[in-house]
Structure 1
Amino acid sequence: MASAEFELQVALVVRLKADAPLTVLVQGRVYDQPPAPIVYPYITIGEAQTLRDDATCVSGSQVYLTLHAWSTQVGFPEVRKVADAVVESLHLAPITLPTNRLISIMHRQTRTFRDADGLTSHAVIEFVANTEKPLA
């Protein structure tokens, strides 16, 4: 059985690549590790943290997930559009996982800023997912 964190990452990539409004913006460029040379804009799967939240009869967890959006267009409009499309696709989405059950996934915050190169616009998009799995 896979961890909730791993199953969520797989499901999120599948959902984001299939999301029509997001596809218009990034054309399926959703990566764990982006290829070189990279074409902008794109999304990367970022950091994750899992906190156990067990109950009497279930193994539960809160999974904190971070996604990143990247753009080299002047200003923030493009990266904000990509970040907004990610939020629209995932916030409260009814996602089915293979061995875990997703109770909810909720957007927590988005931060946008200019990267150190002075050219790349970057959005950090954070979610929390509550999952459970019956104890064996």
Structure 2
Amino acid sequence: MSVSVALQDLALSLLRNSGEVTAIVGDRIVDGNADLAFPNITLGLSDFQPDDADCIKARQETLQIDCWTQEAGKKWPCRALVDAVKGALHDAEGELASGALVQIVVSLARIIDDPDGITMHGVVQITALIEE
């Protein structure tokens, strides 16, 4: 399994096992852009940069978690979901199926107005340091 897929699987597992997150979205936490009821969480962009040091292969990998709410353009439901996601992922611990997780942190969180005027889009960016 690739290190990137292992990180994605860990992030999904942490979110699905967070009572605070599932209290808001239930089981609507998916990889991809499924046609889901609101609120929900989908996975977004990802990238990584090699971070090798002293004969240790490593990478810094970034994964975007997209949080979607739709309550007549109100921002607070999306803020609550973003905060719950941050709580589930920031400084989280876990085992990767490939590689070894050194650290995972939330490096960015933001709320964006969707052009439709009723949907809010929260973006939570996690950055993980992983030994390959």
Task: Output the TM-score relative to the length of structure 1.
Answer: 0.91
What SS does structure 1 have at the residue aligned with 2:71?
Answer: coil
Do 1:46 and 1:66's aligned partners in 2 also have CA atoms closer than 8 Å?
Answer: yes
Deviation at 1:104, TM superposition (A): 0.4
Contact 1:107–1:127 (Cα < 8 Å) also in 2: yes
Letter in 2 for 1:41: P
Gaps of 5+ in 1: none
C-alpha separation between the residues in 2 aligned to 1:107 and 1:121? 20
Runs of 4+ in 1 over 4 A off after TM superposition: none
Q: 2:61 aligns with which of 60, 63, 79?
A: 63
Q: Please tell me the residue identity of whatever aligns with 2:28.
A: R
- Which residue does the alignment assign to 1:130? 129
Partner of 2:6: 7
| Identity fraction in percent | 29
5+ unaligned residues in a row in structure 2: which ranges?
none
What secondary structure sits across from 2:14 in the alignment? helix
Aligned amino acid, residue 56 of structure 1: D
What pairs with 1:1-136 in structure 2 (closer than 5 Å)?
Answer: 2-36=1-35, 38-74=36-72, 75-133=74-132
Q: In 1, are the aligned partners of 2:58 and 2:130 still within 8 Å (CA)?
A: yes
- 1:40 alignment partner, SS class: coil
Two-structure CA RMSD over aligned residues (Å): 1.1
Residue by residue over 1:59-106, the C-alpha shift from the partner in whole angstroms, topping out at 9 and shown as x without a partner, is: 100001111100111311111111100000000001110221110011
2 CA distance for matches of 1:95 and 1:115? 33
Checking the alignment, whether the CA contact within 8 Å between 2:32 and 2:44 is kept in structure 1 is no
Which TM-score applies when normalising by structure 2?
A: 0.93
CA contact (8 A) 1:106 1:128 kept: yes
